[in-house]
Structure 1
Amino acid sequence: MAKNEAQTDIDLFNYLTNDKVFAENWKTKKIINTHIVEVLSTATKSNTGNNRGEPDLIYFNENKKILILIENKDQIKDHSGNNIKNNATAGIKHYLKFFLQDKLRTKSQPTQKYLADFRIIGIAFSGNIADEHNHLIDTFIIQGDKVKDISIKEFQNEGDYISLFENLDLELIANNISKSSGKINRMLRNIDSQKRPVLLSALMVCLYEKDNVRNDFKSNYQNYQTSTIINNIPTTINSILIAEGISQDKINVLNNELSFIKTDNDLNNSDILSEILEELENNVIPLFNKKTSYDIIGKFYEEFLRYAGIANVKKGIVLTPNHITTLFTQLIPIKANDKIFDACCGTGAFLISGMNALINIISRSDVADKTSRINNIKQNQLLGFEKSNTMYSLAISNMIFRGDGKSKIHNIDFFSNEAVSILETEKPTIGFMNPPYGGLDSSKNPTKKEIQFLEKMLDSVSRYGVIIAPQSVFFKDDIVRNRILTKHTLKAIINMPKELFQPNAATHTAIGIFETHLPHNNKAVIFYDLKDDGFVLSKNKGRTDIYNNWNAARNDLKEKLNTPTQYNDNVNLVYKQIHSGDKWILQAHQETDYSNLNNQAFIKDIKERVVFNIKTTLSILDKKLDKELDAISMMEILNNNGIFHEKERDIVALDVGNWIFFDLIDFFDMYAGKYYPKDTFVDGDVPLVSASDTNNGIMSWTNLEPVFSKNRLTIGKIGATTYYQSTDFVASTDVTILNPNFNINKFVGLFLVTIINQENTKWSYGRQIRLGDSQSLRVKLPTKNNQPDWQFMEDYIKSLPYSKSL
């Protein structure tokens, strides 16, 4: 068959320009950029080295620094192989090798400099793009001095390719930090774990060199004696930070934290400091050249604490993941003249992301004085407060290596009078915050509540405020939350993945977005559940975007926030008016998702009930017994009771799609339980039902006089765990009792138990369901004549396995 690569080029070109986000930047050869032309000037496949060669398609975006080369074959049999003329993979790797560092070094200085930061991708394609079963794609990238196969077998859009390189950079940074941190930690194993990060920060400052101005310490430390290094550290820090515009009081904070180095035996009697300086110079400081928002110092801090067996969450400090600090800058309309403020800036992660966002706005604008505008951002448009001396010193070194020695970071308490004075002078416009988690802080070192940080931050910025905090912040402290709405507008609440802060913390968080100094006035709010950010937890790297999924998840989030009415499903996204007194949390407003309700959910509850009945009959629940029955004995009992010998039966079909919602209060009278001190009862036969999620909610068997008759439901305050009570009972204050106003039996009761338990996910992470909450519950039920079909419920339960043993 004759080759028809020209037609394949055209088909592929049309596909990429029409169906992918690449606009007009695709070229069919003959690219005119002088630097790329120079690189390809000797890239002929004839291997003579004297003639120009070009791949079949070229994509080039100078502003975003991305170059994509495609080598194309019209038949998939020609896809793989080693012949650069006849095979797509060999051909594209041939062209890519001319962009490797050793090849670029043979080109002109302007070309070397121009392409230094470019993201370069090579794609081998063969077959028919219109036939998904008859084409092959392999993707390669330039990474340093290597052509790397990245195992992507389909075309991506521009944003995905850029995100891919960012992830590779972050992975490289994370790997290098992990290696260096482990190495440095081993050197400092006899130094207090809280002192190690401060020493790291100081040594990095000592290695700082700006605009090729000679740093004598950096040039000579390898020749210094240990005592000379120790004596020169304070003076070097002093001279470098003064040159960077850091005030003497800030410098004194860092030097005071470092005072231990003069007396520490391990540091004074070894070459540890010289070895650490060498490690930092060779393997850590170069990471800052990647120009990402990655919080390098913050990651070191986490690694140091992890190595020492300390979770930073124990100190009330939960450092924000890099992709979230960047996300903050994309959730609000940032302007070039905004001033970014972080009231508890830690190592400066939010300030770094804010700085990069502002720089990107200027870089992509048409302003003539970009350099001075960018310098102004670094010097005047970032403001941070940090109470901890340790975190403050880390933030200073972090920002210096971002080219921001004059950043306005203050070692003060956000709630101090000094902070008030600074805020009145600086007048920040945007606030970003991950406040100290008060519930995690030591009682000996109390901190303000997160909601207090939020209110003060919103009061302090003129345009927008964004916070990430435990979900409880958004439904507790009604007085403060209502007061906030009198001053500021709540725009959106985003529930974050429960694994977000792992492995350092298992904290369920949400992001809140506010427009400041504009009263809420019952405006609609977006509530969204970001269940998965695409990150995967690995043993040594923490959570990483190994599959490059975050870009799509972030874009999907932004799309839904921009057009909430289009995506409002009342389950994963709710868009509704919020009034004073309402909770600021998705779970308080979403409908229950019944899409996964199936027979197994009901069967599970029947099994639990059968086991409970047998345990009750055998008095296994009696707390006077020394131990629970072992599993083998329980299986024997179940077998003797015929549980494992039931005949198969026809299960009545569920048709959840045709069910409708009902208010439970229309069918039940509801009551709260009562408090029973332990000294008011002894062992007996009357169950005391509590919020327990085992043994049908029964906490103990007592001699109390029954208060509630059998055939009622109980809902525990924790998790809304619901049970059917078949005997008279008493209930604690942690329970809501549902007394039916219709004829109920155990089959209908168990059906309703499974239905109400679908509410479990709404009542977690500190949310407790009390009497008033239970009275507002709405559940979906099978219907007949627009009323609950109780008979269907009974018939359905009776048709399920194990129901005969109820």
Structure 2
Amino acid sequence: MANERKTEVIVRSHFDNYKGYVDIEEQRSENPKINKLLKTASKKGSGHGYPEFIITLKENHDLLIVVECKADTSKHESPNRDKYSEYAVDGALLYASYLSKDFDVLAIAVSGQTIQQLKVSHFLQLKGSKKVTPIFSGNLLSVNDYLSGYLISDEKLSQDYNILLEFTKKLNDRLHSYKISEKYRSLLISCILMALENRRFKTTYQSYGPSDTKELAENLVDTVVRELKNSDIRSDYLDNLKVQFGFIKTDTSLSTKKDVLKELISDIDKNINSFIKTHKYIDVLGQLYIEFLRYANSDKGLGIVLTPPHITELFAELAQVNKNSIVYDNCTGTGGFLISAMKKMIEDVKGDSETIYRIKKEQLIGVEYAADIFALAVSNMYIHQDGKTNIINGDCFDSDIIKVIRSKKPTIGLLNPPYKTRKYETEELEFVLNNMECLADGAKCISIVPMQSALAQSGKVYELKKKLIENHTLEAVLSMPNELFFNSKVGVVSCIMIFTAHIPHLKNKETYFGYYKDDGFVKRKIQGRIDAYGKWNEIKEKWTTYYINRKSEPGFSVNKVVTAKDEWCAEAYMETDYSKLTRDDFYKTVRMYVLFNELFLKNE
């Protein structure tokens, strides 16, 4: 005869192993907030309802674990998950729906009367969200595994990232009120984040009193300079970094107003540093830079268009980065491509500390021209534990720098070059050629450039296209979303170009063209362009798989033999998938045609 108590004994025994880390309550709770949330959560439809177990973590009060048990494995989950009193999954999700109003909830459904027959399902529902996501394997795991898996989950990352963006906006307004220039804001944050890596500074900065503000500012900068000096940074680079961070010592708000700097350090530690420690290998400083400069227009004027994090991640996937890769970015910016590559490389290592050390020290190479952005790149690599000694401050076209990079034999080139804003400036494809000049034979180079670079059929850009395929193989061109750089306030339509270095493009070689216009991101007034519906991972998988396998699909991708004289974009060669056209598409096209004619006739 089925006995649910046996199931409960198995669950209780499992979590009793972690009593030092959790508090376990059974079919009740002493927490008034939990009681209030479960006041109408009865599985029968009225009154209080409680799961078999409510588990709270002593080191993280944001997460609740609820466990619902059933003796019979046939009662594990109903087809519609709406038989709350009869099935384990249904009941667990019911309680999660109530508790998620104020908590992140890990709902665990367990059925079976022996460990051998035990059936376990896990679901994550975050605070304020109706979305329920399956997570973890079909076994009961350790509390540490549950906590770490929850913290690094895509759902938690998305939630924390949105919270980070909200904090960043408030921080930006705060720094504005302190009259700290936009160009200095990211440098201030990066300096603070580096100082917080120093254990002594992190434990003592709170002890500075209101009259010690100037001393705190000096200690902040001096701590960072000492740390960088101990990291084998070149002396001339160190002198440059001293200059970049030096304003902190003399800024009126930071060095004279009581507690302003101390409170900034505390808030940055709590909101930004904690995010970086939890969600590693994300170019947080790059996103801060975008936020701080988006209203100043300075980034657009310089042609700086920082790559969104999901695209730097896509580059690492397309390049098939692994632990043996040597990655080079000749337009490093804040280091987003190198950080995404680092993440992929370290995942491939699977915990080998010596290899991880070598990757960070030797296999990530960058060049950045602008002194202030170089400081951000160094800070970024420092925060992610080394790699900063291979960031060069200089001109990537300098022959001495080219010689140094060549000697390292990079196997992968990744870049987003400065976008040309004036006639006399360097063409984007010149940066692509420069990157490949430094790569080993057969290396892959992936760049994101304005679509006009791919369409040119005459002039200087056309000559650069000719030079590219005379010396290298054009593997693919991927048309990117029109508003990809919306968060940078730069209206440029872009494409990704993928080359194999130093192997001339064969006459009959087919190039893969992808119409990668929909990345699932949508615009939000406060947050900018975000993955609001969690579509990106699935889309990224399709984009990567189709490129690797050169798969053609009407309306999405095509393989085509091209020359420099041709347009390098999917739109020029794709078959139309008429089955996907709707009446709305027809109306929209007609309206655009009419509008075009009106504007054309008016201009005539």
Q: Give the TM-score taking structure 2 as reference length.
A: 0.76
Higher normalized helix content (fraction of residues): 2
For residues 127-180 of structure 1, what are the alpha-carbon distances to aligned partners after superposition, in whole Å with 9 as ceiling and x for unaligned? 89685597685385999974345423686898xx98993243243134235424
Question: What's the offset of the Cα at 1:489?
Answer: 1.9
CA contact (8 A) 2:221 2:249 kept: no
Question: What's the offset of the Cα at 1:205?
Answer: 2.5
The CA distance in 2 between the partners of 1:174 and 1:262, in whole Å, is 32
Do structure 1's residue 572 and structure 2's residue 556 form an aligned pair? yes
The equivalent of 1:581 in structure 2 is 565
Matches within 5 A, 1:352-751: 352-363=339-350, 370-404=352-386, 406-438=388-420, 440=421, 447-462=425-440, 463-476=443-456, 477-503=461-487, 504-521=489-506, 522-565=508-551, 567-569=552-554, 571-592=555-576, 596=581, 601=586, 693-694=597-598, 697=601, 699-700=603-604
**Which is further off, 347-356 or 397-406?**
397-406
SS of alignment partner, residue 225 of structure 1: helix
SS of alignment partner, residue 375 of structure 1: helix
SS of alignment partner, residue 214 of structure 2: helix
Aligned in 2, Cα 1:518/1:586: closer, same or farther, shift over 3 Å? same
Question: What's the offset of the Cα at 1:588?
Answer: 1.9
SS of alignment partner, residue 286 of structure 1: helix
Q: Give the residue type in structure 1 aligned to 2:453.
A: V
SS of alignment partner, residue 476 of structure 2: strand
Question: What's the offset of the Cα at 1:124?
Answer: 10
Aligned in 2, Cα 1:224/1:291: closer, same or farther, shift over 3 Å? farther
| Alignment partner of 1:102 out of 58, 62, 67 | 58
Q: Give the residue type in structure 2 aligned to 1:253.
A: N
The CA distance in 2 between the partners of 1:315 and 1:373, in whole Å, is 38
SS of alignment partner, residue 383 of structure 1: strand
Q: Greater CA radius of gyration, 1 or 2?
A: 1
Do structure 1's residue 151 and structure 2's residue 130 form an aligned pair? yes
Q: Give the TM-score taking structure 1 as reference length.
A: 0.58
The equivalent of 2:320 in structure 1 is 333
The CA distance in 1 between the partners of 2:168 and 2:322, in whole Å, is 38
SS of alignment partner, residue 514 of structure 1: strand
Provide the aligned C-alpha RMSD in A.
4.3
SS of alignment partner, residue 168 of structure 1: helix
For residues 290-349 of structure 1, what are the alpha-carbon distances to aligned partners after superposition, in whole Å with 9 as ceiling and x for unaligned? 23332111111122123x543622321111111111111111222311111111111111
Aligned in 2, Cα 1:405/1:492: closer, same or farther, shift over 3 Å? closer
Q: Give the residue type in structure 2 aligned to 1:467.
A: S
Do structure 1's residue 193 and structure 2's residue 198 form an aligned pair? no
CA contact (8 A) 1:119 1:165 kept: no
CA contact (8 A) 1:197 1:304 kept: yes
Question: What's the offset of the Cα at 1:358?
Answer: 0.5
CA contact (8 A) 1:320 1:434 kept: yes
Aligned in 2, Cα 1:41/1:293: closer, same or farther, shift over 3 Å? closer
Aligned in 2, Cα 1:34/1:352: closer, same or farther, shift over 3 Å? farther
Q: Give the residue type in structure 2 aligned to 1:277.
A: I
The CA distance in 2 between the partners of 1:46 and 1:470, in whole Å, is 60
The aligned length equals 536
For residues 48-81 of structure 1, what are the alpha-carbon distances to aligned partners after superposition, in whole Å with 9 as ceiling and x for unaligned? 99xxxxxxxxxxxxxxxxxxxxxxxxxx994877
The equivalent of 1:202 in structure 2 is 191
SS of alignment partner, residue 182 of structure 2: coil
Question: What's the offset of the Cα at 1:515?
Answer: 2.2
Percent identity over the alignment is: 25
Which blocks of at least 5 consecutive residues in structure 2 are unaligned? 31-40, 85-89, 106-125, 138-148
Aligned in 2, Cα 1:215/1:529: closer, same or farther, shift over 3 Å? same
Question: What's the offset of the Cα at 1:530?
Answer: 1.8
SS of alignment partner, residue 330 of structure 1: helix
SS of alignment partner, residue 323 of structure 1: helix
Question: What's the offset of the Cα at 1:280?
Answer: 2.1
Aligned in 2, Cα 1:479/1:180: closer, same or farther, shift over 3 Å? closer
The CA distance in 2 between the partners of 1:530 and 1:607, in whole Å, is 22
SS of alignment partner, residue 486 of structure 2: coil
CA contact (8 A) 1:339 1:382 kept: yes
Question: What's the offset of the Cα at 1:536?
Answer: 1.8
**Which structure's relative contact order is higher, taking Cα pairs within 8 Å and 6+ residues apart?**
2
Question: What's the offset of the Cα at 1:456?
Answer: 1.5
Question: What's the offset of the Cα at 1:256?
Answer: 1.4
SS of alignment partner, residue 532 of structure 1: coil
**Which is further off, 337-346 or 291-300?**
291-300
The equivalent of 1:658 in structure 2 is none
Aligned in 2, Cα 1:432/1:167: closer, same or farther, shift over 3 Å? farther
The CA distance in 2 between the partners of 1:606 and 1:262, in whole Å, is 59
CA contact (8 A) 1:341 1:430 kept: yes
For residues 584-631 of structure 1, what are the alpha-carbon distances to aligned partners after superposition, in whole Å with 9 as ceiling and x for unaligned? 11122124555537699589969998xx9xxxxxxxxxxxxxxxxxxx
The CA distance in 1 between the partners of 2:321 and 2:592, in whole Å, is 55
The CA distance in 1 between the partners of 2:163 and 2:153, in whole Å, is 15
The equivalent of 1:654 in structure 2 is none
Which blocks of at least 5 consecutive residues in structure 1 are unaligned? 7-26, 50-75, 85-89, 106-115, 365-369, 613-691, 701-806
SS of alignment partner, residue 693 of structure 1: helix
